[in-house]
Amino acid sequence: MNRQLMVVIYMILLVLTQSLLAKAGDSMSPQMHEYVLRCEEILAGKTIPDKAMENQTLASLLQASYIGNGRLYSYLTLLEPIANPSRVQSDLGIDLRRVEQLAKAFSYEKSARYPVRMEITLFERSDLKEPHVVALGTFYSSSSSEPIGVWSSTLTKCPEKGLFANSDYMKINPNAKEARGISEVFHKWYTEQFLKPIGVVRERVIANWTGRLVWARLGYQFDESVTPIVFYEETSPGEWTRRNSIVSQIELVRDNLRRFLKLHNIDEQELAIRTGNNMERINSIDDLASPEDFVNLIHINGKTISIKPHLDEEVIGKTVSLPIGKAFALQTSTPQEDQRNRFTVRGQSVSDHAMPTWVGVRILDRSIMGDATEEALSPRSSATVL
């Protein structure tokens, strides 16, 4: 009963938020439209879709405390059994049974006593009409019969060739000690033994919370097809002007960094990028081109910034002192009441002085790239080596 009440409250807030965004001129994505439909169902008395509860894997996840009642929970309620497996296989050009069997190649042993294994179950999403399949991976250990973690990826046809993967979520039970440190091993398996073997040529991620730092360090680039919308700007105290101007992700991140530095009385001429044992002094914030550039920023005199890192959707950590780039990447991304600018990225409001939620892309088959894309993914050349 407690969980149902929390879900209802969450969905009511979601409906109100979408109503306000609609009035402000923001278009509702198909996914968010589906969430709103879920709200109506829940308020009508349908707490969890029957199809979800009929599947043992989904039922276990939806009732797991570490899943929470936020975006991941709502996402899981959209999953349904594949109605026509033969058609999906034909449309995407993949063997569904082989995709499920790829989980057998994964193993992780933080503790020899409690090794972690994986299972993959395939679904469809009720909010997507184009041909697709969702690979839902669940982690298990001998210490529990319930899943201790989950990841998901939506596979669609890539316009150029092969498959496009939208890496939707990864969540590990923080109490599962046997799964600590699993991310690096998982990402290597995910790249080399899952995405590449099934023909994925392009992957996209949504970098939230600690993902803003993690995905940057793994080399993901800003997806230039995504453009945040600047809704309002405070032109004078208490007066807001609606701009409706569209800016690129890199422009938004650079502007947020400038405000972050101003807040902490740091001049951009005092910054450098640390890569391994090397330190490259930058001439301007405009020199920063990739997510990794931002998170590797340091102060030339070693100055750090104390923040409470935004670790997960509803988890704020204890105060820590961090280098400039890391502090910027982990600063809470929740919009502040007193901020002068208001932005949304994919319908989600973000802070104006922290690294915002960003959409990253990774090319797994460079033969699909044109010269412009190749140049965009090449290393920077405008920094000064110290």
In a domain, 256, yes or no: yes
Mean predicted confidence (pLDDT) in 318-324: 95
Does the pLDDT at position 318 exceed 80? Answer: yes
Instruction: Name, in order, each residue with C-beta under 8 angstroms of 281's C-beta and a sequence gap of 6 or more.
Output: 271, 272, 300, 383, 384, 385, 386
From start to end of the chain, where are the E strands?
Answer: 79-80, 116-125, 132-141, 144-157, 163-172, 200-207, 221-222, 229-236, 239-246, 271-275, 278-281, 297-299, 305-307, 310-312, 315-316, 320-322, 341-345, 348-350, 358-363, 384-385
Percent of the chain clearing pLDDT 70 (strictly above): 73
Kind of pairing between the strands at 200-207 and 163-172: parallel
Return the minimum-mean-pLDDT range out of 45-49, 59-63, 186-190, 223-227: 45-49
Phi and psi at residue 123, to the nearest 5°: -140, 175
Higher-confidence position of 248 and 29: 248
Residue among 349, 347, 293, 357 nearest 325 (CA): 293
Q: What is the pLDDT of residue 73?
A: 92
Mean predicted confidence (pLDDT) in 130-144: 93
Percent of the chain clearing pLDDT 90 (strictly above): 56
Residue among 92, 360, 364 nearest 201 (CA): 364
In a domain, 341, yes or no: yes
343: containing domain? 229-357
In a domain, 351, yes or no: yes
Q: What is the pLDDT of residue 228?
A: 72
Q: What is the pLDDT of residue 368?
A: 52
Higher-confidence position of 137 and 52: 137
Name the CA radius of gyration of the chain, rounded.
22
The structural domain count of the chain equals: 1
In a domain, 150, yes or no: no
In a domain, 246, yes or no: yes
Does the pLDDT at position 130 exceed 70? Answer: yes
Mean predicted confidence (pLDDT) in 143-168: 92
pLDDT digits (tens, 9 = 90+) for 279-308: 999 999 999 999 999 999 999 999 999 999
Q: Which tokens is 301 given?
A: 């005199």
In a domain, 158, yes or no: no
Strand order of the β-sheet with 348-350 is 239-246, 229-236, 341-345, 348-350
Phi and psi at residue 359, to the nearest 5°: -105, 120
In a domain, 156, yes or no: no
In a domain, 289, yes or no: yes
pLDDT digits (tens, 9 = 90+) for 22-62: 444 444 454 554 455 455 444 444 356 666 667 889 999 99
